[in-house]
Amino acid sequence: MKMTKTNAGYTMIELLVAMMLSGIALSVVATDFSHTVHQRFDMEQVAETQQAVSAALTFVSQELRQAGACLPQLGDFTALGGVDSGNRDSITLRIGKTDPGSLVCIRTVSTAPSLAGSSSLTVLNSSGFEVGQYVYLTRIAGQGSTFIVAAVGVESITVEGALDADYLTGSGVYAIEERTYSIDDSGPSPILTVAVDDGDPEPLAKGIEVFNVRYRLDPCEPCVTVDLPADNAEWRIVREVELTVAAQTDRPMQGGSVHVVEERTTIKPRNLI
């Protein structure tokens, strides 16, 4: 009698080979998935870093263009100030305040003399001036000083402390705001901050490693570029500000190194021209 062979299933060797091939396929899929996840994470990190740099550069540039607005164009007033700290500078902008509704500059003139040591000024119109606000007072000769408003009357403004000199009839009174931009590196990640009128610094952009400010002085062209004007005379001939902002990703990329984003721009404050 002839026996027929039946198919009893897969052999052990066939099963082992199948398992090995399945493992290789799964490993390839897992590796590819992991690479895709890391690549997407890297792209998100770069995008966030780029956004932080662009936002910081745009915001400071817009403010710089307003430096000196509604404030004295003559005399010893300076619309800019700063500190040179290598790649982590600070810059102070002085901008005249405006009425929120009409956008008219908030300024007036004195209508009577105010002597040194006193604290009150008689003015033509005190509209728009507020307690706690900074004011810049100019003397006829062009000198001036900054004070803090202590009280406001219908036709009077009282400042904190005492006047440093005699302010004669016709002295200018300007509502002013000071904004200082600097890097706070006290935490795990450096933060670009802004402080208004010597108040507490408020965070503006996280991860900013470089905030480098340089100044181009008249006469142009070519302009003389300095890291910091030497004195008030040089501050008054600043015509352009060169600003470099850079940040790096919070974590290393797939290659093991962080990605750095850097942008540079030159701003010409139209109120300093």
Residue range 54-75, pLDDT digits in tens: 888 999 999 998 898 899 887 8
pLDDT at 23: 67
**DSSP three-state, residue 57:** helix
- pLDDT tens digits for 73-98? 878 888 999 999 999 999 999 999 99
Does residue 150 or residue 32 have the better pLDDT? 150
Verdict on whether the full-model pTM lies above 0.85: no
pLDDT tens track for 94-127: 999 999 888 899 999 999 999 999 999 999 999 9
pLDDT at res. 230? 93
Angle CA 59–64–67, to nearest 5: 135
Confidence category of residue 273, pLDDT binned at 50, 70, 90: very low
Dihedral angle of Cα 150, 165, 143, 198, to the nearest 10 degrees: -30
Top mean-pLDDT range of 16-25, 209-218, 263-272: 209-218
Segment (H or E) for 159: strand 156-159
In this predicted structure, the answer to whether residue 36 has a pLDDT above a threshold of 90 is no
Q: Is the pLDDT of residue 200 over 70?
A: yes
- Residue the block writes with tokens 């901050």: 193
What does the mean pLDDT of the chain come to?
Answer: 86
pLDDT of residue 25: 63
Query: Distance (Å, rounded) from C-alpha 18 to C-alpha 70?
Result: 81
The pLDDT assigned to 140 comes to 81
Residue 135: predicted pLDDT: 96
In this prediction, what percent of the chain has a pLDDT beyond 90? 53
